[in-house]
Structure 1
């Protein structure tokens, strides 16, 4: 009788162990599946394209194409257009591989101030910043201020779940830029931001940086 009871107990223990092993295996496979099904998202990137179309000394800092991953700042570009030939071609883009910014938008517009005839180039309409899963830039505007009267206004308009942080500050004569020292302006839905570019033959130029954030 004692042998039968022992055999029964061993069978019960084996069943309990088997059930436990099945549960652990089930949890392990579930955890592994959850890890594979929820990969980390890729943050969008804000791009600036900045190139001279005349005297290269008028367009400084980081020229060419650059991309900054949200929420990092872009590298500074530098406006120093004056009476030398040419100006600076400027465009923007957003690379959004995961569609994080779906339903949001950014636009930019370069306009002449009152009396600013001959400054700022010809593309004075509203330009859409492409928000695409590949790096693409919008239409370029031409920053070309000199010693003529007036200046260029650069305006950013945002909709949706985006905040665009903007800095444009002087590294010489403070009258050439919106700010004498780094001050951050915030463009968000319903609140556009306009900055002033008035570089000419005065000392120094304007440092310009952007940062893209979303919520």
Structure 2
């Protein structure tokens, strides 16, 4: 009798242990269901006062990923004399090896003739955009502060964000950059007029630069990205 009871207890303990183990393995798996290469953007409004948004989301710290051949959600950039500013990070995800060989990088510098303090935390040397094992949110998008969008519009010039691509000719990075309807676009250097759907393409040996001159004027700049097969 005692042996049968003991055997039953041991069986229950083993089943429970297997169940707990299954739960732990399931919890450790990444939440992503991504099956192809992706481009990721993290966009943070440091003081959550409306200077930086992802589409119509409330200001905060938002991470968005887009699979290859699809556009990211657009970023709304409206930095001005309000305190804080925005931080911007990029990332790549390659679960199916579709992005093998791809090398993306960026620089962030002042325009020619502008004082260096016009754009905080410049990176004149190309900064590689990292690959992550799966789409992932902060705080592992390091190092801070990423790209800091908090320019002083009372100084001459503007800030240039330049993106570079190397390592493959089978993948390109498309950029849409446009300004809000009803404004003159002076805060968004080289941006397209609203509704034109103009696209700039970063290719091997063909970088693309956009100018950021956001200030206290009306309007804002919109920015979106798409990895695309050629």
> What residue in structure 2 maps to residue 144 of structure 1?
150
Q: CA deviation at 1:165?
A: 0.3
- Equivalence for 1:77: 75
Deviations 1:52-93 (A, max 9, x none): 123531112345100011111011111111111121100100
Counterparts of 1:118-129 in structure 2, within 5 Å, are 118-124=117-123, 125-129=125-129
Matched with 1:156 is 163
User: What is the CA distance between 1:134 and its match in structure 2?
Assistant: 2.2
Other-structure match for 1:212: 227
Q: Which moved more, 1:170-179 or 1:195-204?
A: 170-179
Which residue number in structure 2 is paired with residue 18 of structure 1? Answer: none
Distance 1:46 1:55 in 2: 24
Structure 1 CA distance for aligned equivalents of residues 133 and 218 of structure 2: 41
Task: Report the Cα distance in structure 2 between the residues aligned to 1:138 and 1:68, rounded to whole angstroms.
Answer: 20
Residue from 66, 84, 87 that aligns with 2:85: 87
1:179 matched residue in structure 2? 191
Where does structure 1 lack aligned partners over 5 or more consecutive residues? 1-40
State yes or no: 1:165 paired with 2:165: no
Deviations 1:165-208 (A, max 9, x none): 00111113311112242421000101000011111111101000
TM-score by length of 2: 0.70
TM-score (norm 1): 0.75
8 Å CA contact 2:121–2:148 kept in 1: the answer is: yes
Match of 2:15 in 1: none
Give the aligned partner of residue 20 of structure 1.
Answer: none
What is the SS of the residue equivalent to 1:118?
A: helix
Q: CA separation in 2, counterparts of 1:128 and 1:73?
A: 21
SS of residue paired to 2:116: coil
CA deviation map 1:133-170 (0-9, x unaligned): 32354641101123322211000000113200001111
Aligned partner of 2:210 in structure 1 is 195
Aligned to 1:110, what secondary structure does the other structure show? Answer: strand
Task: Name the stretch that deviates more: 80-89 or 133-142.
Answer: 133-142
Runs of 4+ aligned structure 1 residues displaced above 3 Å come to 136-139
Larger Rg: 1
Higher helix share: 1
- Residue 123 of structure 1 and its aligned partner are, at CA, apart by 4.0
Deviating more after overlay: 187-196 vs 105-114? 105-114
Provide the C-alpha distance between the structure 1 equivalents of 2:192 and 2:165, rounded to a whole number of angstroms. 25
